[in-house]
Amino acid sequence: MRLEDPGTGKRRIVDLFTDLGGAVTMRHLAREAIGRGFWSEAELDGAVLGWAVKQCRDVIRSEGENGLPFAVPVEKGPHPVWKQLTLIDSLEEANFVLQERAAAVVADHAKLLELQRYFVRRFGGGISSVPMLVY
């Protein structure tokens, strides 16, 4: 199932989530979607590789004792090269890493502010403040 397909994809998953009561774990939602045949066998087989890649990525980018990741991607693309921090050997790569991390922080902060605005509209006062980023 392609998520972009009209009438299937995202809408089917959202509808299933709602049908399950709108408050379930993602594990339960995924098992229900698999059980209802949302994806073909070939798609599920491909997902196993995706899962393994995610497992590897999560371990490699996890923080070490110094709070820094073990390795980071040093280029854009669907399958970028990741390098151990000690193997980054150019200013170009170092600046790429810093720019990508900064862009991610800014994007996450924007999402956090929008989430706060949503809850303020919904509940009024009493919502936690969000620290502002200073550049």
The per-residue pLDDT for range 19-56, each reduced to its tens digit, is: 999 999 999 999 999 999 999 899 999 998 988 989 98
C-alpha torsion sign, points 108, 52, 81, 88: positive
Q: What is the pTM of this model?
A: 0.62
**Count of Cβ atoms closer than 10 Å to residue 88 Cβ:** 16
Sign of the four-CA dihedral 81, 84, 85, 90: negative
Q: Tell me the pLDDT tens digit for each residue of 110-132.
A: 999 999 999 999 998 889 999 88
More confident residue, 37 or 5: 37
More confident residue, 43 or 4: 43
